[in-house]
Amino acid sequence: MFRLVACLLLMAAMELPAMEITHRPAESRQDQRVNYFIALLALALEKTQEDHGPAHSKPYHEPLSQARAFEMVARGELDLVWSMASQERMNKVRAVPVPLLRGLLGYRVLLTHPDGAARFERIRSLEALSALTTIQGAGWPDVEVLRGNGLEVGTSTDYDGMFRMVMGQRVDYFPRSVAEVWPELKRHSPLDLTVVPGLALYYPAPIYFFVHPDNTALAERLETGLMRAVADGAFEQLFRAQEEHRQALDFINRPGLRVLRLDNPLIPGFVPPRDPRLWLPQDR
């Protein structure tokens, strides 16, 4: 009897029209950071297909800044965006409370010009780092985090251009997520940028899927799908399958790594999940 009911439910789901989810596209043609999140979205939808029917996603037809994407989600003009959380964002739109990078986004390595790498060997504090200049994308929440901790930060709307600014020594360094920097280095290999060895920044930086506040159906479907993937190991398998994630874990576990810890004023009182399947231990 149970098998019959399950089959009937599956048949009914398969007859439903496919849900189409439009999400924020990549920031440029060279930006491949979206691939993991699109795969994770597809995994969550697959895990809930029997309950809710087929679904697929597609990128919005033109580039969107983070700020514009969040405004469009809030107005119901865009279904989904993934990004670092802030209290302001969570007040405007609905977060699906499953950290997509297990806290790895919060570790920031410093991209710099090879000729300037040696100057970072003597950096032991945020005060010392504040004497140098950095760059971040306009509208990125990291701008407020870095400035709030006393660092000098410029902004740009040109994602690829920020790498060129570092190579042109117009800024001293460019903080990049340890989970994102390795493929970025490959894509910008002609610039011959380097990661500062032995030094990283860290601040709590959960990254979530965000949907319209009233889109309860999509929010609950994604949360259910992600947690099913956590439970059966598919989430961990996808996470570990990314070469850049393996490289990131290798970097942050290097002996002697100096980690400068920053406060994150955007999410005051944030307490990371205790479940190690959702959040990597932060015991450095």
Q: What angle do CA 243, 244, 245 make, to 5 degrees?
A: 90
Q: Copy the structure tokens of residue 132.
A: 């140098």
Residues of the chain with CATH 3.40.190.10: 2-103+206-253, 104-202
- For helices 234-241 and 243-252, the axis angle rounded to 10 degrees is 80
Q: What is the architecture of the domain spanning 2-103+206-253?
A: 3-Layer(aba) Sandwich (3.40)
CATH code reported for the domain at 104-202: 3.40.190.10
Q: Tell me, what's the pLDDT at 164?
A: 95
DSSP letters spanning 182-194: HHHHHHTGGG--E
Using alpha carbons, list the distances in angstroms from residue 242 to 182, 239, 268.
11, 6, 30
Which residue has tokens 């990661």?
A: 195
Tens-digit pLDDT profile for residues 48-101 = 999 999 999 999 999 898 899 999 999 999 999 999 999 999 999 999 999 999
Tens-digit pLDDT profile for residues 178-237 = 998 998 898 887 788 999 999 999 999 999 999 999 999 999 999 999 999 999 999 999
Q: Tell me, what's the pLDDT at 6?
A: 54
Q: Which of the four pLDDT bands, split at 50, 70 and 90, describes residue 34?
A: confident
Decide: 207 and 99 in contact? Cβ < 8 Å: yes
